[in-house]
Structure 1
Amino acid sequence: MRTYVLTVFAKNGDKLLDESFTAENDNEAKKVGEARLAEEGYSEHTHRCVSPEAKLILFHR
């Protein structure tokens, strides 16, 4: 399992969500990240999800 980090930002730059989770691969991580954003109501906020190598898996501005 690999550890990914999901971060959501407010318009003023404050972090609204900053958490890590594990997934088997980038595709699974993208699904988990999207589900977590929807669950918290942050889908339209600025967010990013990065892999252990700092590769962007999800990004919205």
Structure 2
Amino acid sequence: MSFTDKAKSKAQEMSGLAKERIGDATDNERLRAEGAREQSAARAQQAGENVKEAGRDVRTSFEK
């Protein structure tokens, strides 16, 4: 995962957190749910990329 992708994913996660908190403060269930969804999507993307990186590391260690 490139630095740009990591930054975009983190920004999406922070945006979701802000929406969720604003939804909590205003009792807006739709905004709260949208924020939670954005956070989940960003975290899933980050987890997938971490798995890819771990796979590359394992492959590299066997090539040595």
TM-score (norm 1): 0.33
Q: Per residue, is there more strand in 1 or in 2?
A: 1
What TM-score do you get using the length of structure 2 for normalisation? 0.32
Larger Rg: 2
